[in-house]
Chains A and B, each alone.
Chain A
Amino acid sequence: MSERNLTYEDLVQIVELVKSTSQFSEFRLKVGDIEVSLKRANGEARPLPVPVQRSTEEKPVSRGKVSVSENLHAVKAPMVGTFYRAPAPGEPPFVEVGQEVEPDTIVCIIEVMKLMNSIEAGVRGVVKEIAVPNATAVEYGEALMGIEPR
């Protein structure tokens, strides 16, 4: 047992011990034929890294709930998600204000849990208002667009 190599088991043990004694300025360990001694700067342990705040705790910037004018048909978000006006980045929006739509015209996309939900106008009419900016988070039932029925 006199001539042997340090094993990974030894390494794991030593490292765990060194880590668990970080408040001490000196550390000496002798187990069998292994000896480790350490001195720490000024006897001060390096402060433990502060865990990064999880993103759940970040409050999203609240964007006062907007609605569309009462006389218009409101296209609503089916779910909490992200509102997109175009099928893909860089592509033209599905609809613009003033555009005529049929009930099955796709007017926007709501991304819900990484899946895309094409949202139809629901009525024949003219797009009068777009209440939400592109790529913003929307609430369940939030009015996204106002359509004047024809």
Chain B
Amino acid sequence: MTKRQKRFDFVDVTLRDAHQCLWGTRMTTEMMTPVLSEIDRAGYSVINILGGAVFDVCVRYLHENPWDRIALLCERLSTPCDALTRGQSLYTFELFPDDVVALNAQLLARLGIKVFTVYDALNDNRNLESSVKAGREAGMKINGWMTYTLSPVHTDAYYVERAKELLALGSDYLCIKDPTGLLTPERGATLFPAVVKASSGVPVQLHSHCQSALAPKVYEEAIKAGFQAGYTASEPLANGASLPATEEIGAIARRLGFQVSLDDEVLKTIAGYFRWLCIREGKPCGQVAKYDPALYEHQIPGGMISNLHYQLETMKLGHRLPEILEEIAQVRKDLGYPIVVSPFAQYLVTQATLNVVQGERYKTIPDEIRKYARGYYGKVAAPMAPEFLERLNLKSSELVTGRPGEHIEPWLPRLRKELGPGASDGDLLLAAFYDKDLLAPLERPKPEYRFKTSPLHELVAWMGQRRDIEHARIRFAGTEMTFSA
């Protein structure tokens, strides 16, 4: 009898986080459908298809009804599909009442989502209670994420506490999410075993980005520590701001002696398709990032720095970027170390800009930051600086100490009245999230989706779209085709 080989599983993020990081979330359903059957056969244990940005970009920019995409992908994929929400904020950064949060979970389950992933940008797990309860009741597996960051308070013990909270909530999986690629193998060597130990047998997963270029080493550390799965993307859409490549992490896991159920030939076809898609659509492929120690100081992801620089340029403040980056670190400390993710990353950037421009700290404090400091969004990780609190001048009546969702009245009765009895759950939820004029374009007729393609098919289609080509003949391996305009 041989000892049963340990297994390491893979969760695909190509249809979600990969294009969110590299293409500004602009992958349409039409770009996904031709390669779905290959992704389904590649050996992934779960496929992540939804997150906050995907939902929002579908509505605002792609004019696709996100519920239709979810239903279609769940129907075509036999691998379990995963949907990620930001706890009580769902797909946005506002807090929603419990009835909206519950209806969202019920609808996702009905559309075919099997794994329901939840996280809170403050790691205040009270913000997950309502989602988890509804998701579990609707029959989905619960995947509880905790967000990694660097600060004196975000210690290994802090994450062990968060892991225990997620387990107490009833998570079926735990995951460490590292949105800015700040994890190092050295930190992993202490953090990962601590979280595995605290997980009492519940599978632990790693979701880390590649901004520091250390992610493959960090994944190796996680595999060694007993993590059960990792989130990865098809190679052309991996690396840089995205996650590591499935192919690369697969090879690492195998070399460590783990059984990996990936099909390399199928992965090659998927990678070929996405590399071609980058060229066809004029979008970037992921590039391996350069190691930059400055990332660990300000923690602002590269994409956000270029965006900030652009914003500052429009305000004729571009030359003050270095000062502002330095101020961000100070503001973050003063505010009790919020994690540098949306929406708090924007808060830090804006407050730092105000401080630098006004030449005085906290002379103006944006309303959202005031709300954050009141505890409106959840618990602040560390004590806030006296200098900041003095300027805020909060009254004790303004402080929110209970679960943030508790304070929001139900919305569904009002929405049902406004939309009438014929409104579907999807319509009710969209109306809860968006203004009417944003929703009108979603009524457009859907394109005819193609569910398979081949390089030859893509070549012919591409030639057909080139208006300069009058006559073309393609011949290979005994096939010949000619087309004329």
Contact = CB atoms under 8 A, between A and B. Distances in A.
A118 B316 CA distance: 23
A97 interface: no
Interface size class of A (residues with CB under 8 A): 35 or more
A86 B273 CA distance: 50
B4 interface: no
Nearest to A4: B477
Nearest to A8: B272
Interface string B451-485: 00011101100110011111111111110000001
A13 to B, nearest CB: 10
B367 A115 contact: yes
B126 to A, nearest CB: 24
B155 interface: no
Contacts, number: 128
Nearest to A1: B477
B364 interface: yes
Main SS of chain A's interface residues? mixed
Contact of B455 (A5, A37, A116): A5
B259 interface: no
Contacts of B477: 2-5, 33-34
Contacts of B473: 35-38
Interface in A1-60: 2-12, 14-16, 18, 22, 33-41, 44-46, 56
Nearest to A104: B393
A37 B471 CA distance: 8
Interface in B356-415: 357-358, 363-369
A114 interface: yes
A11 B478 contact: no
A78 B364 contact: yes
B199 interface: no
Nearest to B269: A8
Contacts of A12: 275-276, 279
A29 B18 CA distance: 35
Scoring A8, A115, A118 by chain B CB atoms within 10 A of each residue's CB, the highest score goes to A8
A12 B462 CA distance: 11
B94 to A, nearest CB: 13
A15 B275 CA distance: 12
B476 A35 contact: yes
B468 A22 contact: yes
B279 A15 contact: yes
A11 B276 contact: yes
B348 to A, nearest CB: 11
A15 B466 CA distance: 11
A7 B364 CA distance: 59
Interface string A61-100: 0000000000000000011100000000000000000000
B79 interface: no
A40 B468 contact: yes
A117 B311 contact: no
B338 to A, nearest CB: 14
A36 B273 CA distance: 21
Contact of A8 (B455, B467, B471): B455
B123 interface: no
Given A79-B364, A116-B367, A38 B471 contact: yes
Given A11-B455, A15-B279, A113-B311, A78 B354 contact: yes
B310 interface: yes
Contacts of A9: 272
B454 A6 contact: yes
B219 interface: no
A2 B478 contact: yes
A114 B314 CA distance: 14
B55 interface: no
Contacts of B279: 12, 15-16
Interface string B307-325: 0001101111100000000
13 contacts: A6-B455, A6-B456, A8-B269, A11-B458, A18-B463, A34-B474, A38-B463, A38-B469, A38-B472, A56-B314, A115-B366, A115-B367, A116-B366
What are the 6 A-B residue pairs with the smallest beta carbon separation, nearest first? A8-B272, A115-B366, A46-B468, A78-B364, A11-B455, A39-B471
